[in-house]
Amino acid sequence: MADIETQGRGTAWRRGFKAAIGMPSLVLFASMVGFGSLAREASIDLLPTIVTTIGIWGLPGQMVMVEMVAFGAPLFAIAVAVSAANARFLPMTLAITPYLADWRTTWVQRLLFAQLVTLTPWAMALQRWPAMPQTDRVPYYVGFSVMCMVGAITGTILGHELARVLPRPLTLGLIFLSPAFFSMVFAGVRQRAGVLALLAGAAMGPSMHMISPDWGVPVTGLVAGSAAFSLDAYLRRRIAQGGNP
Amino acid sequence: MNASEVTSIWFVVAASVAATYFWRGLGMIIARRLHPDSALSRWFACVAYAVLAGFIARMLTLPEGSLGEVALWDKLVPLACGFAVFYLWGRKMEAGTATAFVVFVSIALWRGHGGT
């Protein structure tokens, strides 16, 4: 029984790894090229840049960290801003844990697994986990994540190096990749609460930055995010009561 | 980078990693007590969206930061081209991003060759 389980785990890991070859790891690769260039621009060395990619493992927080380092923001302000930028990891983790209910494991393993929650593998899990046997889910996810990480680290290193050797217009282009990518992600958001939060944040961000370069980012998130959430909650109630939204 | 900057960047990285992991670890721990579609979860998602949108808007519009040396329209025109391709081509994010990148670099190269 134990042997069969181990064997099954090995194949699920490999299948996950293979599934990430191609588009998923390529997306990670390309977005981290932009991040690597951005970090180089902020004169952050290669090693801390790679550790940031693996450790934060979520582009929004990574970008916010690097840009705030470039502005010389205080440590506490950076931590709050990065945390706010990645706050989505909480509901994202919550959304996949029901599929891990039968996962017989230690808390240490569960907490280690949590580090791997990031957009690309998470979206894969929501799509494929329901049809997968419990014993395959985690190894498949880990294999998938490892391949994504290979792509991400390669991209980080390449972006960091390219920003050093490429002519200026191309380096600027690589830095422009991340905001351009997220703008497209934003354009694809359909949920009302998300759209409201994006509009409010985009409207507030630049002016808040001019008031306080250190605290503009987290304050924008809290104020604009809360306003969008409240407006959405109000509209939900109106609709629930049968009123016109 | 001098010695103190090298030390401080590791502090920044460590604090940022911990601040990010906080949400993942918390999610794992309170998994059975909070629904992913609960009001609190939706609020966190809104805050994260607003932070990122505010941050990107600042990067694209204000003349400071890593793209500060690029003129406003040299960032907005490539973005508009990217959006156009995104909507015309069945909402493909990769196509939109690639278009924005190519237009951006083309403008940047042209400006560079034109000289200022």
* Contact (Cβ atoms closer than 8 angstroms) between residue B6 and residue A45: yes
pLDDT score of A54: 97
Residues of A in contact with B103 (CB under 8 A): none
Residue A207 to chain B, least CA–CA distance (Å) = 8
**Torsion from C-alpha of A159, A181, A19, A104, nearest 10 degrees:** 100
3-state secondary structure chain B: CCHHHHHHHHHHHHHHHHHHHHHHHHHHHCCCCCCCCCHHHHHHHHHHHHHHHHHHHHHHHCCCCCCCCCCHHHHHHHHHHHHHHHHHCCCCHHHHHHHHHHHHHHHHHHHHHHCC
Distance from CA of B56 to the nearest CA of A (A): 6
When pLDDT is averaged across residues B82-86 and rounded to a whole number, the result is: 96
Instruction: Confirm if A202 and B53 have CB atoms less than 8 A apart.
Output: yes
Instruction: Residue A25: list chain B partners with CB under 8 A.
Output: none
Beta carbons of B82 and A176 less than 8 angstroms apart:
no
The pLDDT mean for chain B works out to 89
Report pLDDT digits (tens) over A181-230.
Answer: 999 999 988 889 999 999 999 999 999 999 998 899 899 999 999 999 99
Residue type, position A14, single letter: R
pLDDT reading at A9 higher than 70: no
Provide the pLDDT for residue B115. Answer: 43
Query: How close does chain B come to A7, measured CA to CA in Å?
Result: 27
Q: What is the ipTM of this complex?
A: 0.88
Statement: residue B92 has pLDDT above 60: yes
A200 three-class SS: helix
Confidence of residue B38 (pLDDT cuts 50, 70, 90): confident
* A80 contacts on B by Cβ (under 8 Å): 19
| Lowest model confidence (mean pLDDT) among A117-131, B70-84, B96-110 | A117-131
pLDDT at B4: 62
B3 and A CB contact within 8 Å: no
Q: What ranges do the domains of chain A cover?
A: 2-188, 191-245
Mean pLDDT value across residues B5-28: 91
| Same-domain pairing of B63 and B74 | no
Chain A residue nearest residue B11, CA to CA: A75
Residue A33: predicted pLDDT: 95
**How many A×B Cβ pairs under 8 Å?**
312
Please, which pLDDT band fits residue A241 given cuts at 50, 70 and 90?
confident
Same domain, B92 and B57: no
Q: Are residue B57 and residue B74 in the same domain, yes or no? A: no
CB contact under 8 A, A225 and B15: no
**Same structural domain, B75 and B116:** yes
Q: In this predicted model, what pLDDT tens digit does every residue of A136-188 receive, in sequence order?
A: 999 999 999 999 999 999 999 999 999 999 999 999 999 999 899 999 999 98
Question: Residue B58 contacts by C-beta under 8 Å, 6 or more apart in sequence?
Answer: A205, A206, A209, A216, A217, B65
> Which pLDDT does position B112 carry in this prediction?
78
Which residue range forms the structural domain that includes residue B21? 1-33
Q: What is the structure's pLDDT at A240?
A: 86
Q: What is the mean pLDDT of residues B63-69?
A: 89
Predicted confidence at residue A105, as pLDDT, reads 84
**Among B46, B91, B36, which residue's Cα sits nearest to residue A196?**
B46
> How far is CA A163 from each of CA A27, A51, B97, rounded to the nearest angstrom?
19, 18, 19
Task: Tell me: do B77 and B113 sit in the same domain.
Answer: yes
Q: Which residue of B has its CA nearest to A65?
A: B16
What pLDDT score was predicted for residue A126?
87
CA B65 to chain centre: 13
State the smallest CA–CA distance between residue A239 and chain B in angstroms.
16
Q: Provide the percentage of residues in chain A whose pLDDT is more than 90.
A: 71
Distance between CA A60 and CA A182 in Å, rounded?
Answer: 9
pLDDT per residue over A18-64, tens digit each?
999 988 899 899 889 999 999 999 999 999 999 999 999 999 999 99
Do B86 and B102 lie in one domain? The reply is yes
What span, in angstroms and rounded, lies between the C-alpha atoms of A31 and A66?
A: 14
Claim to verify: residue B93 and residue B108 sit in the same structural domain: yes
Same domain, B90 and B54: no
Block residue for tokens 């949400």: B23
Do B97 and B114 sit in the same domain of this protein? yes
Asked if residue B62 has pLDDT above 80, the reply is: yes
In this structure, are B60 and B100 located in the same domain?
A: no
Token pair for B77? 């025109």
- Into how many domains does chain B fold? 3
B43 at A interface, C-beta within 8 A: yes
- pLDDT of amino acid A45: 96
- Closest by CA to A80, choosing from B23, B36, B87, B68, is B23
Question: Quick one: pLDDT at residue B33?
Answer: 80
Average pLDDT in the B107-115 region?
Answer: 75
